[in-house]
Amino acid sequence: MERIGDQLDLKLLDDWQRNLPIEPRPFARIGEALRCGETEVIRRLEFLRATGRVTRVGATCAPNTVSASTLAAIAAPAERLEDVAAIVGSQPGVNHSYERESHWNLWFVATGPNRAHVDNVLEEIQVRTGLRVLDLPLVRPFNVDLGFRLNGEMDRPPAPRPVRKEHLQEGDNDLLQALATGMPLTERPYHEIASDLGWQEEDVLDRIAVLQDAGIISRLGVIVRHRALGWRSNAMVVWDIRPELVDAAGPALAAVPGVTLCYERRPVAGVWPYRLYCMIHARSRKDALETLTKASALPELEDVDRRILFSCRCFKQTGAMIAPRGAAA
């Protein structure tokens, strides 16, 4: 698919990737801001979702707060790659799966209600494929927002908010699962979520506001498919940096325009030494490499070895698993 040409669609996607109104009729508020009306907003979102440009309208949560997750990789023989990707994608909780230009060519994110679930998924994949699975858990995030403007302007990521898990209460995981799966595109989506959960609409609105203020909901809005919108030259860059240098290098790397994700992960001794990661989303390989050149010029990354792994194919992209299957609407 090509990039968005309709200016109203572009504003809808640019302006509402975060800060979705938390009120009974959020799409009416968006329609008022865009001067097109509630019905037109819903129609456009339905079309964008149906054509694969939008994954869902909903929430992303701060990593490893209400659920567990890890990044994992497999070195799949070329002739088996699609079969291995199908096995990976069939596992409950695998929500992202990509082919990348590397010996370790299949990368995926495994999520679940707890670390035991994630461990079981990784073990099942290893048994069914007969291939080693690299487990690369998150150590700390520097930017995991992944909301950026599609018109080419590169904003700095929002300042990280502290996550206050003490604000969680019973039932929140079911609500968060509904938001991660995707909100209904109707006039009163929060009312429908409340009905499915057996709650009142005002309780849903109150809890979302609390969870967002507590940093547990990291982003509430339109979740886009970047490749389908023309951002096809996407690269994961990994840096073999000494642990004591990450404190300074992580925030500096996260602030580079064009860097859309940045975090520290645990390396695998003797196999995968890289601990600092960033994602670069760009329309062309040339643009991505220009961003990488700027990042590599940072004093904090001087003389640090790195590898760039461009994405080739997306096999799967959905919301995370938060609540045990069957517990959430």
Domain ranges of the chain: 7-59+153-224, 68-146+227-317
Q: What is the pLDDT of residue 328?
A: 37
Number of residues assigned to the chain:
329
Residue showing tokens 């069957």: 326
Q: Which listed CATH number (1.10.10.2890, 2.40.110.10, 3.40.190.10, 1.10.10.10) goes with 7-59+153-224?
A: 1.10.10.2890
Please give the Cα distance from 226 to 229 (Å, whole number).
Answer: 5
Structure tokens at 91: 């596992």
Q: Which listed CATH number (3.60.15.10, 3.40.640.10, 3.30.70.3460, 3.40.190.170) goes with 68-146+227-317?
A: 3.30.70.3460
DSSP string, 114-143: SHHHHHHHHHHHHHHH-S-EEEE-EEEEEE
Backbone angles phi, psi at 185, to 5 degrees: -90, 75
First to last CA, the chain: 32
Using pLDDT thresholds of 50, 70 and 90, give the confidence band for residue 230. confident
Residue showing tokens 């990661």: 277
Mean pLDDT of the chain: 91
Q: What is the pLDDT of residue 150?
A: 66
pLDDT in tens, 235-292: 999 999 999 999 999 999 999 988 989 999 999 999 999 999 999 998 899 999 999 9
The DSSP symbol for 163 reads: P
Using pLDDT thresholds of 50, 70 and 90, give the confidence band for residue 65. confident
Q: Could you write out the three-class secondary structure of 236-282? A: EEEEECCHHHHHHHHHHHHCCCCEEEEEEECCECCCECCCEEEEEEE
Structure tokens at 315: 């096999």
Indicate the helix (H) or strand (E) that contains 221.
strand 217-224
Please give the Cα distance from 107 to 81 (Å, whole number).
Answer: 11
